[in-house]
Protein backbone atom coordinates (compact mmCIF):
# COMPACT_ATOMS: atom_id res chain seq x y z
CA UNK A 1 0.00 0.00 0.00
CA UNK A 2 1.35 3.48 -0.79
CA UNK A 3 2.17 5.53 2.24
CA UNK A 4 -0.67 7.99 2.93
CA UNK A 5 0.27 11.63 2.28
CA UNK A 6 -1.26 12.63 5.56
CA UNK A 7 -1.68 10.24 8.43
CA UNK A 8 -5.25 10.34 9.75
CA UNK A 9 -5.35 12.23 12.99
CA UNK A 10 -1.92 13.72 12.36
CA UNK A 11 -1.33 16.91 14.25
CA UNK A 12 -0.91 20.19 12.36
CA UNK A 13 1.47 20.01 9.46
CA UNK A 14 4.84 21.48 10.16
CA UNK A 15 5.53 24.43 7.85
CA UNK A 16 8.23 22.38 6.16
CA UNK A 17 5.96 19.41 5.45
CA UNK A 18 3.21 21.77 4.35
CA UNK A 19 5.51 23.39 1.79
CA UNK A 20 6.62 19.97 0.55
CA UNK A 21 3.03 18.93 -0.08
CA UNK A 22 2.26 22.33 -1.55
CA UNK A 23 5.07 21.98 -4.03
CA UNK A 24 4.05 18.45 -4.99
CA UNK A 25 0.31 18.93 -5.32
CA UNK A 26 -0.94 22.48 -5.19
CA UNK A 27 -1.21 24.69 -8.24
CA UNK A 28 -0.88 28.38 -7.43
CA UNK A 29 -2.17 31.33 -9.49
CA UNK A 30 -0.20 32.22 -12.62
CA UNK A 31 2.44 29.64 -11.74
CA UNK A 32 4.02 26.56 -13.28
CA UNK A 33 3.63 23.18 -11.58
CA UNK A 34 5.59 22.69 -9.41
CA UNK A 35 6.08 26.33 -8.43
CA UNK A 36 9.58 27.77 -8.64
CA UNK A 37 9.47 29.64 -5.35
CA UNK A 38 8.06 28.69 -1.98
CA UNK A 39 5.03 30.76 -1.00
CA UNK A 40 4.84 32.17 2.53
CA UNK A 41 2.67 30.11 4.86
CA UNK A 42 -0.03 32.17 6.56
CA UNK A 43 -1.26 30.73 9.84
CA UNK A 44 -3.89 33.36 10.62
CA UNK A 45 -4.82 36.95 9.90
CA UNK A 46 -6.47 39.68 11.86
CA UNK A 47 -6.95 43.39 11.34
CA UNK A 48 -4.47 44.35 8.64
CA UNK A 49 -1.91 41.72 9.68
CA UNK A 50 -1.07 38.35 8.21
CA UNK A 51 0.62 36.02 10.72
CA UNK A 52 3.16 33.70 9.21
CA UNK A 53 3.60 30.10 10.32
CA UNK A 54 7.36 30.70 10.31
CA UNK A 55 9.28 33.96 10.31
CA UNK A 56 10.42 35.10 6.86
CA UNK A 57 13.30 37.54 6.53
CA UNK A 58 13.13 38.23 10.24
CA UNK A 59 9.44 38.96 10.46
CA UNK A 60 6.49 36.82 11.47
CA UNK A 61 3.77 39.38 10.81
CA UNK A 62 3.11 41.26 7.61
CA UNK A 63 0.95 44.33 7.17
CA UNK A 64 -1.24 43.55 4.18
CA UNK A 65 -0.87 46.06 1.37
CA UNK A 66 -3.00 44.05 -1.06
CA UNK A 67 -6.36 43.53 0.70
CA UNK A 68 -6.10 39.99 -0.67
CA UNK A 69 -6.55 41.25 -4.25
CA UNK A 70 -8.91 44.18 -3.55
CA UNK A 71 -11.25 42.17 -1.38
CA UNK A 72 -10.55 42.54 2.36
CA UNK A 73 -11.58 46.16 2.78
CA UNK A 74 -12.42 45.81 6.48
CA UNK A 75 -9.31 43.78 7.26
CA UNK A 76 -9.28 40.19 8.51
CA UNK A 77 -11.13 38.40 11.25
CA UNK A 78 -13.54 41.29 11.69
CA UNK A 79 -15.93 40.68 14.62
CA UNK A 80 -18.99 41.96 12.74
CA UNK A 81 -18.36 39.84 9.66
CA UNK A 82 -17.42 36.83 11.80
CA UNK A 83 -20.70 37.17 13.66
CA UNK A 84 -22.70 37.45 10.42
CA UNK A 85 -21.05 34.27 9.14
CA UNK A 86 -21.57 32.43 12.41
CA UNK A 87 -25.23 33.41 12.71
CA UNK A 88 -25.91 32.33 9.13
CA UNK A 89 -23.94 29.10 9.59
CA UNK A 90 -26.30 28.13 12.40
CA UNK A 91 -29.28 28.60 10.06
CA UNK A 92 -27.85 27.09 6.85
CA UNK A 93 -24.66 27.52 4.93
CA UNK A 94 -26.22 26.67 1.60
CA UNK A 95 -29.35 25.63 -0.21
CA UNK A 96 -29.90 25.49 -3.95
CA UNK A 97 -31.32 28.64 -5.55
CA UNK A 98 -33.47 26.98 -8.22
CA UNK A 99 -37.05 27.07 -6.94
CA UNK A 100 -35.91 28.24 -3.51
CA UNK A 101 -34.97 31.61 -2.11
CA UNK A 102 -33.82 33.00 1.22
CA UNK A 103 -33.42 36.18 3.16
CA UNK A 104 -29.64 36.74 2.75
CA UNK A 105 -29.82 36.69 -1.06
CA UNK A 106 -32.98 38.81 -1.24
CA UNK A 107 -31.65 41.31 1.25
CA UNK A 108 -28.33 41.54 -0.61
CA UNK A 109 -29.95 41.99 -4.02
CA UNK A 110 -32.25 44.73 -2.74
CA UNK A 111 -29.34 46.44 -1.02
CA UNK A 112 -27.20 46.35 -4.18
CA UNK A 113 -30.04 47.85 -6.23
CA UNK A 114 -30.34 50.61 -3.63
CA UNK A 115 -26.66 51.62 -3.61
CA UNK A 116 -25.62 51.13 -7.26
CA UNK A 117 -26.33 53.71 -9.99
CA UNK A 118 -30.01 54.49 -10.59
CA UNK A 119 -31.70 52.20 -13.08
CA UNK A 120 -30.00 48.88 -12.27
CA UNK A 121 -32.80 46.80 -10.80
CA UNK A 122 -32.17 43.13 -11.36
CA UNK A 123 -29.40 41.10 -9.77
CA UNK A 124 -27.85 37.82 -10.85
CA UNK A 125 -25.69 36.43 -8.06
CA UNK A 126 -22.70 34.53 -9.41
CA UNK A 127 -19.90 32.74 -7.65
CA UNK A 128 -16.85 34.64 -8.89
CA UNK A 129 -15.96 37.79 -10.76
CA UNK A 130 -15.12 35.99 -13.99
CA UNK A 131 -18.44 34.19 -13.92
CA UNK A 132 -20.29 37.48 -13.39
CA UNK A 133 -18.55 38.79 -16.54
CA UNK A 134 -19.62 35.64 -18.41
CA UNK A 135 -23.18 36.27 -17.23
CA UNK A 136 -23.04 39.96 -18.19
CA UNK A 137 -21.89 39.03 -21.69
CA UNK A 138 -24.51 36.29 -21.98
CA UNK A 139 -27.17 38.84 -20.98
CA UNK A 140 -26.02 41.25 -23.69
CA UNK A 141 -25.74 38.69 -26.49
CA UNK A 142 -29.06 37.15 -25.56
CA UNK A 143 -30.71 40.57 -25.42
CA UNK A 144 -29.84 41.14 -29.09
CA UNK A 145 -30.76 37.57 -30.08
CA UNK A 146 -34.14 38.02 -28.43
CA UNK A 147 -34.51 41.32 -30.29
CA UNK A 148 -33.95 39.60 -33.63
CA UNK A 149 -30.36 40.77 -34.07
CA UNK A 150 -28.20 37.68 -33.44
CA UNK A 151 -25.39 39.14 -35.58
CA UNK A 152 -24.62 41.50 -32.69
CA UNK A 153 -22.34 39.15 -30.82
CA UNK A 154 -18.91 40.74 -30.61
CA UNK A 155 -17.62 42.89 -27.78
CA UNK A 156 -15.78 46.18 -27.94
CA UNK A 157 -13.30 47.24 -25.29
CA UNK A 158 -10.15 49.25 -24.91
CA UNK A 159 -6.64 47.89 -24.51
CA UNK A 160 -5.10 47.60 -21.05
CA UNK A 161 -8.15 45.95 -19.46
CA UNK A 162 -8.55 42.93 -17.23
CA UNK A 163 -11.85 41.11 -16.85
CA UNK A 164 -10.95 37.68 -15.46
CA UNK A 165 -9.44 34.39 -16.52
CA UNK A 166 -12.30 32.33 -17.97
CA UNK A 167 -12.63 32.37 -21.79
CA UNK A 168 -14.98 35.22 -22.48
CA UNK A 169 -13.35 37.59 -19.98
CA UNK A 170 -9.94 36.58 -21.37
CA UNK A 171 -11.06 37.65 -24.84
CA UNK A 172 -11.54 41.23 -23.61
CA UNK A 173 -8.40 41.37 -21.46
CA UNK A 174 -5.51 43.35 -22.91
CA UNK A 175 -4.34 41.34 -25.93
CA UNK A 176 -0.68 41.48 -24.84
CA UNK A 177 -1.13 41.16 -21.07
CA UNK A 178 -3.82 38.51 -21.65
CA UNK A 179 -1.48 36.50 -23.90
CA UNK A 180 -3.93 36.45 -26.81
CA UNK A 181 -1.14 35.29 -29.13
CA UNK A 182 -1.03 32.03 -27.15
CA UNK A 183 -4.74 31.58 -27.80
CA UNK A 184 -5.17 32.88 -31.31
CA UNK A 185 -7.78 30.81 -33.12
CA UNK A 186 -9.31 29.82 -29.78
CA UNK A 187 -10.48 33.06 -28.17
CA UNK A 188 -13.30 34.96 -29.84
CA UNK A 189 -11.84 38.00 -31.59
CA UNK A 190 -13.17 41.18 -30.09
CA UNK A 191 -12.85 44.80 -31.18
CA UNK A 192 -10.11 46.75 -29.40
CA UNK A 193 -9.74 50.50 -29.06
CA UNK A 194 -6.44 51.98 -27.95
CA UNK A 195 -5.98 52.25 -24.18
CA UNK A 196 -7.60 55.38 -22.79
CA UNK A 197 -5.18 58.30 -22.27
CA UNK A 198 -3.97 58.33 -18.66
CA UNK A 199 -4.99 60.69 -15.90
CA UNK A 200 -8.13 60.80 -13.78
CA UNK A 201 -8.05 64.62 -13.83
CA UNK A 202 -6.91 64.98 -17.44
CA UNK A 203 -9.37 66.61 -19.81
CA UNK A 204 -10.75 64.06 -22.28
CA UNK A 205 -8.60 64.00 -25.42
CA UNK A 206 -10.68 64.88 -28.52
CA UNK A 207 -8.46 62.74 -30.75
CA UNK A 208 -9.04 59.71 -28.57
CA UNK A 209 -12.75 60.49 -28.38
CA UNK A 210 -12.92 60.55 -32.16
CA UNK A 211 -11.15 57.19 -32.22
CA UNK A 212 -13.75 55.67 -29.87
CA UNK A 213 -16.59 57.21 -31.85
CA UNK A 214 -15.24 55.89 -35.14
CA UNK A 215 -14.78 52.39 -33.76
CA UNK A 216 -18.26 52.19 -32.22
CA UNK A 217 -19.85 53.51 -35.42
CA UNK A 218 -17.91 51.12 -37.64
CA UNK A 219 -18.69 48.01 -35.57
CA UNK A 220 -22.11 48.77 -34.08
CA UNK A 221 -23.84 46.35 -36.47
CA UNK A 222 -21.88 43.39 -35.03
CA UNK A 223 -21.17 44.55 -31.48
CA UNK A 224 -23.48 43.51 -28.64
CA UNK A 225 -21.79 45.52 -25.91
CA UNK A 226 -18.92 47.75 -24.93
CA UNK A 227 -17.28 46.41 -21.79
CA UNK A 228 -14.78 48.42 -19.76
CA UNK A 229 -13.45 48.89 -16.26
CA UNK A 230 -14.58 52.40 -15.38
CA UNK A 231 -11.97 54.96 -14.19
CA UNK A 232 -9.32 52.43 -13.13
CA UNK A 233 -7.88 49.67 -15.29
CA UNK A 234 -6.72 47.28 -12.62
CA UNK A 235 -4.73 44.13 -13.20
CA UNK A 236 -4.15 45.21 -16.80
CA UNK A 237 -1.78 47.96 -15.71
CA UNK A 238 -3.23 50.03 -12.84
CA UNK A 239 -4.01 53.04 -15.03
CA UNK A 240 -6.52 55.79 -14.28
CA UNK A 241 -8.53 57.66 -16.90
CA UNK A 242 -11.01 60.50 -17.13
CA UNK A 243 -14.65 59.76 -16.26
CA UNK A 244 -15.39 61.83 -19.37
CA UNK A 245 -14.69 58.78 -21.55
CA UNK A 246 -17.42 56.88 -19.72
CA UNK A 247 -19.94 59.62 -20.46
CA UNK A 248 -18.89 59.48 -24.11
CA UNK A 249 -19.25 55.69 -24.20
CA UNK A 250 -22.73 55.99 -22.72
CA UNK A 251 -23.73 58.47 -25.45
CA UNK A 252 -22.18 56.40 -28.24
CA UNK A 253 -23.83 53.20 -27.03
CA UNK A 254 -27.22 54.91 -26.86
CA UNK A 255 -26.84 56.40 -30.33
CA UNK A 256 -25.73 53.16 -31.95
CA UNK A 257 -27.78 50.42 -30.28
CA UNK A 258 -24.94 48.94 -28.26
CA UNK A 259 -25.17 47.90 -24.60
CA UNK A 260 -22.67 49.18 -22.04
CA UNK A 261 -21.14 46.94 -19.37
CA UNK A 262 -19.07 48.30 -16.49
CA UNK A 263 -16.83 45.81 -14.76
CA UNK A 264 -16.52 47.20 -11.23
CA UNK A 265 -15.25 43.99 -9.71
CA UNK A 266 -12.13 45.80 -8.48
CA UNK A 267 -13.38 49.40 -8.25
CA UNK A 268 -16.68 48.80 -6.43
CA UNK A 269 -17.32 49.58 -2.77
CA UNK A 270 -15.40 52.81 -2.35
CA UNK A 271 -11.93 51.91 -3.58
CA UNK A 272 -11.62 54.88 -5.97
CA UNK A 273 -13.16 57.43 -3.59
CA UNK A 274 -16.68 57.06 -5.00
CA UNK A 275 -18.87 54.15 -3.89
CA UNK A 276 -18.80 52.93 -7.50
CA UNK A 277 -16.45 54.25 -10.15
CA UNK A 278 -19.49 54.88 -12.38
CA UNK A 279 -20.52 57.54 -9.84
CA UNK A 280 -17.51 59.66 -10.89
CA UNK A 281 -19.13 59.94 -14.32
CA UNK A 282 -22.74 59.88 -13.16
CA UNK A 283 -23.43 57.18 -15.73
CA UNK A 284 -25.57 54.05 -15.44
CA UNK A 285 -24.35 51.10 -17.50
CA UNK A 286 -26.81 48.53 -18.84
CA UNK A 287 -25.01 45.82 -16.89
CA UNK A 288 -22.73 46.19 -13.87
CA UNK A 289 -20.39 43.50 -12.53
CA UNK A 290 -19.41 43.41 -8.86
CA UNK A 291 -17.19 41.00 -6.96
CA UNK A 292 -13.97 41.05 -4.94
CA UNK A 293 -14.89 43.36 -2.00
CA UNK A 294 -18.56 42.32 -2.16
CA UNK A 295 -18.17 39.98 0.83
CA UNK A 296 -15.43 42.04 2.47
CA UNK A 297 -12.99 39.39 1.30
CA UNK A 298 -14.61 36.55 3.27
CA UNK A 299 -16.16 34.31 0.65
CA UNK A 300 -16.38 34.10 -3.08
CA UNK A 301 -19.40 35.87 -4.55
CA UNK A 302 -20.05 38.24 -7.41
CA UNK A 303 -23.04 39.86 -9.06
CA UNK A 304 -24.21 41.05 -12.45
CA UNK A 305 -26.86 43.76 -12.18
CA UNK A 306 -28.91 44.90 -15.15
CA UNK A 307 -31.62 47.33 -16.16
CA UNK A 308 -35.27 46.41 -16.83
CA UNK A 309 -34.59 46.99 -20.56
CA UNK A 310 -32.05 44.15 -20.63
CA UNK A 311 -34.12 41.85 -18.42
CA UNK A 312 -37.35 42.46 -20.36
CA UNK A 313 -35.58 42.01 -23.68
CA UNK A 314 -34.31 38.59 -22.62
CA UNK A 315 -37.53 37.51 -20.96
CA UNK A 316 -39.66 38.40 -23.98
CA UNK A 317 -37.46 36.42 -26.35
CA UNK A 318 -38.03 33.11 -28.05
CA UNK A 319 -36.09 31.46 -25.23
CA UNK A 320 -37.41 33.63 -22.42
CA UNK A 321 -34.95 32.63 -19.71
CA UNK A 322 -31.36 33.40 -18.89
CA UNK A 323 -29.89 29.90 -19.02
CA UNK A 324 -27.37 30.25 -16.25
CA UNK A 325 -27.42 28.79 -12.75
CA UNK A 326 -24.25 28.09 -10.83
CA UNK A 327 -24.63 25.36 -8.22
CA UNK A 328 -23.68 27.74 -5.44
CA UNK A 329 -25.69 30.66 -6.80
CA UNK A 330 -26.84 33.04 -4.09
CA UNK A 331 -24.91 31.15 -1.42
CA UNK A 332 -26.56 32.19 1.87
CA UNK A 333 -23.32 32.29 3.85
CA UNK A 334 -21.62 34.57 1.35
CA UNK A 335 -24.75 36.70 0.94
CA UNK A 336 -25.11 37.17 4.70
CA UNK A 337 -21.49 38.27 5.02
CA UNK A 338 -21.88 40.52 1.97
CA UNK A 339 -24.88 42.25 3.59
CA UNK A 340 -22.89 42.75 6.79
CA UNK A 341 -19.90 44.05 4.84
CA UNK A 342 -21.97 46.58 2.90
CA UNK A 343 -23.68 47.75 6.11
CA UNK A 344 -20.33 48.02 7.86
CA UNK A 345 -18.94 50.11 5.02
CA UNK A 346 -21.93 52.44 4.68
CA UNK A 347 -22.38 52.70 8.44
CA UNK A 348 -19.13 54.65 8.73
CA UNK A 349 -17.72 57.75 7.11
CA UNK A 350 -16.02 55.60 4.48
CA UNK A 351 -15.33 58.60 2.24
CA UNK A 352 -13.24 60.15 5.01
CA UNK A 353 -11.34 56.88 5.47
CA UNK A 354 -10.60 56.54 1.77
CA UNK A 355 -9.59 60.22 1.63
CA UNK A 356 -7.28 59.69 4.60
CA UNK A 357 -5.65 56.73 2.87
CA UNK A 358 -5.39 58.69 -0.38
CA UNK A 359 -3.57 61.50 1.44
CA UNK A 360 -1.31 59.00 3.24
CA UNK A 361 -0.42 57.30 -0.03
CA UNK A 362 0.24 60.62 -1.80
CA UNK A 363 2.56 61.76 0.97
CA UNK A 364 4.19 58.40 1.53
CA UNK A 365 4.80 57.56 -2.11
CA UNK A 366 5.90 61.03 -3.29
CA UNK A 367 9.55 60.22 -2.60
CA UNK A 368 9.37 57.08 -4.72
CA UNK A 369 9.25 59.36 -7.76
CA UNK A 370 12.96 60.01 -7.18
CA UNK A 371 13.96 56.34 -7.09
CA UNK A 372 16.06 55.37 -10.13
CA UNK A 373 14.03 53.27 -12.55
CA UNK A 374 10.69 54.70 -11.40
CA UNK A 375 8.69 56.13 -14.28
CA UNK A 376 5.50 57.26 -12.58
CA UNK A 377 3.82 57.47 -9.18
CA UNK A 378 0.04 57.78 -9.08
CA UNK A 379 -2.66 57.62 -6.45
CA UNK A 380 -6.44 57.54 -6.67
CA UNK A 381 -8.62 56.82 -3.65
CA UNK A 382 -7.13 53.91 -1.73
CA UNK A 383 -4.93 52.81 -4.65
CA UNK A 384 -1.22 53.65 -4.81
CA UNK A 385 0.89 52.76 -7.83
CA UNK A 386 4.60 53.00 -8.54
CA UNK A 387 5.32 52.21 -12.18
CA UNK A 388 8.85 51.21 -13.18
CA UNK A 389 10.39 52.00 -16.52
CA UNK A 390 10.63 48.32 -17.49
CA UNK A 391 8.81 45.12 -16.53
CA UNK A 392 10.27 42.95 -13.79
CA UNK A 393 11.52 39.48 -14.58
CA UNK A 394 10.92 36.65 -12.09
CA UNK A 395 14.08 37.49 -10.15
CA UNK A 396 13.15 41.17 -10.01
CA UNK A 397 9.67 40.33 -8.80
CA UNK A 398 11.10 38.08 -6.08
CA UNK A 399 13.61 40.76 -5.04
CA UNK A 400 10.88 43.40 -4.84
CA UNK A 401 8.57 41.14 -2.85
CA UNK A 402 11.39 40.22 -0.49
CA UNK A 403 12.33 43.86 0.07
CA UNK A 404 8.73 44.58 1.12
CA UNK A 405 8.67 41.56 3.42
CA UNK A 406 11.87 42.80 5.07
CA UNK A 407 9.96 45.98 5.88
CA UNK A 408 7.16 43.84 7.34
CA UNK A 409 4.69 44.36 4.49
CA UNK A 410 2.95 42.05 2.03
CA UNK A 411 3.01 43.31 -1.56
CA UNK A 412 2.83 41.44 -4.83
CA UNK A 413 4.56 43.42 -7.56
CA UNK A 414 3.86 42.35 -11.14
CA UNK A 415 4.85 43.53 -14.60
CA UNK A 416 6.29 47.03 -14.25
CA UNK A 417 4.21 47.77 -11.15
CA UNK A 418 4.73 47.95 -7.42
CA UNK A 419 1.34 48.87 -6.03
CA UNK A 420 -0.89 48.79 -2.98
CA UNK A 421 -4.60 48.89 -2.26
CA UNK A 422 -4.67 48.56 1.53
CA UNK A 423 -7.72 47.70 3.64
CA UNK A 424 -9.68 50.85 4.55
CA UNK A 425 -8.99 50.16 8.24
CA UNK A 426 -5.22 50.59 7.81
CA UNK A 427 -4.11 53.22 10.32
CA UNK A 428 -1.70 56.03 9.49
CA UNK A 429 1.29 54.30 11.00
CA UNK A 430 0.75 51.08 9.06
CA UNK A 431 0.07 53.11 5.95
CA UNK A 432 3.42 54.85 6.32
CA UNK A 433 5.01 51.41 6.70
CA UNK A 434 3.31 50.21 3.50
CA UNK A 435 4.63 53.28 1.65
CA UNK A 436 8.14 52.60 2.92
CA UNK A 437 7.85 49.02 1.70
CA UNK A 438 6.62 50.13 -1.73
CA UNK A 439 9.67 52.40 -1.99
CA UNK A 440 11.97 49.61 -0.81
CA UNK A 441 10.44 47.21 -3.34
CA UNK A 442 10.86 49.75 -6.14
CA UNK A 443 14.49 50.30 -5.11
CA UNK A 444 15.18 46.57 -4.99
CA UNK A 445 13.52 46.16 -8.37
CA UNK A 446 15.59 49.02 -9.77
CA UNK A 447 18.73 46.93 -9.92
CA UNK A 448 16.99 43.86 -11.28
CA UNK A 449 14.97 44.93 -14.23
CA UNK A 450 14.58 42.67 -17.21
C1 LIG B 1 -10.45 40.25 -10.39
C2 LIG B 1 -11.24 40.80 -11.50
C3 LIG B 1 -12.08 39.97 -12.27
C4 LIG B 1 -12.18 38.47 -12.05
O5 LIG B 1 -12.73 38.15 -10.82
P6 LIG B 1 -12.46 36.68 -10.21
O7 LIG B 1 -13.27 36.66 -8.95
O8 LIG B 1 -11.00 36.58 -9.99
O9 LIG B 1 -12.94 35.69 -11.21
C10 LIG B 1 -12.79 40.56 -13.29
N11 LIG B 1 -12.72 41.88 -13.53
C12 LIG B 1 -11.95 42.70 -12.81
C13 LIG B 1 -11.93 44.15 -13.10
C14 LIG B 1 -11.16 42.18 -11.78
O15 LIG B 1 -10.36 43.00 -11.08
pLDDT per residue as tens digits for the range 223-267? 999 999 999 999 999 999 999 999 999 999 999 999 999 999 999
Ligand 1 atom nearest 235 alpha carbon: 15
- Confirm whether residue 291 is marked as ligand binding: no
Instruction: Please tell us whether the domain made up of 80-347 is placed in CATH 3.40.50.11030.
Output: no
Q: Residue 450: its pLDDT value, please?
A: 43
Marked catalytic residue, from 292, 298, 416, 419: 292
Q: Residue 4: its pLDDT value, please?
A: 67
According to CATH, what is the number of the domain 15-69+349-447? 3.90.1150.10
Ligand 1 atom nearest 128 alpha carbon: 7
Cβ of 180 closer than 6 Å to ligand 1, yes or no, is no
Whole-angstrom distance, CA of residue 64 vs CA of residue 435: 12
Cβ of 134 closer than 6 Å to ligand 1, yes or no, is no
Reply yes or no on whether 355 is catalytic: no
Q: Tell the burial category of 369 from Cβ atoms under 10 Å away from its Cβ (0-12, 13-18, 19+).
A: middle
Torsion angle in degrees (nearest 10) through CA of 423, 428, 434, 438: 110
Mean confidence (pLDDT) of the chain = 95
Q: How far is the CA of 71 from the centre of ligand 1 (A)?
A: 10
Q: Which of 137, 163, 301, 303 to mutate to test the pocket of ligand 1 (most atoms within 8 A of CB)?
A: 163
Instruction: Give the CA radius of gyration of the chain.
Output: 22
Can you list the residues of the chain whose pLDDT is less than 70?
1-5, 7-11, 447-450
State the pTM of this model. 0.96
Residue ranges of the chain that CATH labels 3.40.640.10: 80-347
- Confirm whether residue 292 is marked as ligand binding: yes
Q: Residue 449: its pLDDT value, please?
A: 46
Residue ranges of the chain that CATH labels 3.90.1150.10: 15-69+349-447
Amino acid sequence: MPEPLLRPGAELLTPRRLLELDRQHVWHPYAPMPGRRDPLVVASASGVRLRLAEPAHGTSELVDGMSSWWAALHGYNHPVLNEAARAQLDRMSHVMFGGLTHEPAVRLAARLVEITPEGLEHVFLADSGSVSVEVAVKMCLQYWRSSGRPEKRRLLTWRGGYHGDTWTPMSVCDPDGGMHSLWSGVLPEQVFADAPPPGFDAEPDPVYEAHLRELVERHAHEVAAVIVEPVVQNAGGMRFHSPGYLRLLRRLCDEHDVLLVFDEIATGFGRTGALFAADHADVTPDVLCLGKALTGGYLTMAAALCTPRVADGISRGEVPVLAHGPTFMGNPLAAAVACASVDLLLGQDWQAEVKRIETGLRNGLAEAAGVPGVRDVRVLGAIGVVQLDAPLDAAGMAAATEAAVREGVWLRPFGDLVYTMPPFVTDDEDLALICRAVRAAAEAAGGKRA
